[in-house]
Structure formats: C-alpha cells, structure tokens
Amino acid sequence: MKNIALLTVVALTMLGCACADNFIEESVKEPPRTKPAAVFDNISANTWGGLKKEIALNGITMEGDTGTVSSWGISVKYKYADTILVLHKISVGFPASFETLGGWNKERVLDLVKEKLVKHGAKL
C-alpha cells in the first residue's frame, strides 16, 4: 500500500499537480483510534487492587496498571489511572467461546468485570 502511495505521489509531482501535497497529507495520517470497549469511573485504588487479586486467584496476573491479560481464549487490554479503568480490545475465542465451556462472549466478560468491581466496592 505504501509503495502505491509513493508511486502516486511521484507521478503527481512529476506532472506538477498541486494536489500531490494533499495526497501526501491524507496518506500519512494515523488510523483512527478505536473506541474503548468499556470505561468505568470512580474506581478506587482499593477496588482496583481487589479486582487484580481476585483475578490472580484464577491464575491470571495483571502486571501494573496498564497491560493485556489473556487466558483460555479471552483477551483484554486494560488501563487504570486516576480512578478510571478503561478496557480495550476485548476478544473471546476458543476455548472460552465454546458452548460446553460456558459460551463466553464480550458482553459476558464485561458483566463479570462489573460484578467483580461492585464486589470490591465500586458504585456503578
């Protein structure tokens, strides 16, 4: 894709086309950021710590306040800062999505996170 864009810019420049500058600007823009899967505010440090400890009891370690956890086909990117927990890129695949293992999906993961946050003191 970059090669095609470069060739197009070279061709437009050689032809003296004024639109070459606009094409360059459009072709190097960053892709749009994805919308978070969930944002939880008013999450105290104690609530965050309780959630991380409970998840650790299931053998899943959340290192620090930013990272990605992945286990049994469920993957979640997370960031906690200033009483706000943001979850990005929740994906559920095999084996978690398999019906006999509970048929997990994104909504069920979010429901579980909400349940655990409330259990540890969050008011959602």
The number of distinct structural domains making up the chain is 2
| Residue 95 per-residue DSSP state | T
| Cβ–Cβ < 8 Å for 23, 60 | no
Kindly state whether residue 71 falls inside one of the protein's structural domains. yes
Kindly state whether residue 124 falls inside one of the protein's structural domains. no
Are 19 and 70 within one domain?
Answer: no
Q: How confident is the model at residue 7 (pLDDT cuts 50, 70, 90)?
A: very low
pLDDT tens track for 68-120: 998 888 899 999 998 999 998 888 888 777 766 678 888 988 998 899 899 98
Are 75 and 43 within one domain?
Answer: yes
Are 49 and 105 within one domain?
Answer: yes
Report which of residues 2 and 40 the model is more confident about. Answer: 40
Q: Is the pLDDT of residue 11 over 60?
A: no
Are 110 and 60 within one domain?
Answer: yes
For position 121, what pLDDT does the model report?
87
Q: List Cα–Cα distances, 40 to 50, 64, 114, 115, in angstroms.
A: 15, 17, 9, 12
Which residues make Cβ contacts (< 8 Å) with residue 38, sequence separation at least 6?
Answer: 86, 87, 90, 110, 113
Are 44 and 27 within one domain?
Answer: no
pLDDT tens track for 24-75: 455 445 455 678 889 999 999 999 999 999 888 877 888 899 999 988 888 9
Kindly state whether residue 6 falls inside one of the protein's structural domains. yes
Q: How confident is the model at residue 5 (pLDDT cuts 50, 70, 90)?
A: very low
For position 62, what pLDDT does the model report?
87
